[in-house]
Structure 1
């Protein structure tokens, strides 16, 4: 049976909850519709997060992203909605979503939204000799 788009994000337990580590996911085929013209908008999404107790399950993420294909949304709104939904299910220590939209009318748009848990600071990078 073919898959269907879904707004249900699933998670699994972080296998290393006592360690800060970064998960990076590139989603090069994001599509939604321009709410003014109804024409498709294309973007590459770059998701970067430091999990706490849960990680997002990738197939569920794929189906979730697919659910935006026929939805009209401004770039700023859709980027922040996706980020809010990921925060709601994962509650990561840190998360950043960068949405790089393809050119439309000679204009490129990149929207960057991020969240960090209170009192969580990015660990310092150790410079090796």
Structure 2
């Protein structure tokens, strides 16, 4: 079950500094809602924090909630972007999902939230 309430945050240690955080989750799994086959991918999160930063253990547990979910790539990408943006309120946020090939096709989906530029 996908549960954004599992996400935890801590105060940005440098809220007045413009810096970029990147987290890469290399072992993301979900299920294709059409075939029921597993989908394997990588989730890359890039954000310029506002007042809060995401705590990594809670992010890992949140991602595990997708493991048995029948959900399309596009929905995964936008769900993660929406959940993080709503809870963390970063200056900018980009969520990129990179899906391993199946049937000769690999996909990369990118969702952005926050201030332009």
TM surpasses 0.5: yes
Cα separation, 2, equivalents of 1:66 and 1:91 = 22
Cα separation, 1, equivalents of 2:94 and 2:86 = 14
Q: Structure 1 residue 54: deviation in Å?
A: 0.4
1:110 and 2:108 correspond: yes
Q: Secondary structure at the match of 2:82?
A: helix
Cα separation, 1, equivalents of 2:26 and 2:3 = 18
Q: Give the TM-score taking structure 1 as reference length.
A: 0.85
The answer to whether the Cα contact below 8 Å between 1:31 and 1:69 also exists between their aligned partners in 2 is: yes
Q: Secondary structure at the match of 1:85?
A: helix
Q: Give the TM-score taking structure 2 as reference length.
A: 0.94
Partner of residue 25, structure 1: 23
Aligned Cα RMSD in Å? Answer: 1.3
Q: Secondary structure at the match of 2:43?
A: strand
Which segments of 5 or more consecutive residues in structure 2 lack a partner in the other structure?
Answer: none
Number of aligned positions between the proteins: 115
Cα separation, 1, equivalents of 2:3 and 2:69 = 13
Match of 1:86 among 84, 87, 91: 84
Cα separation, 2, equivalents of 1:90 and 1:15 = 14
Matches within 5 A, 1:1-129: 7=4, 8-117=6-115, 122=117
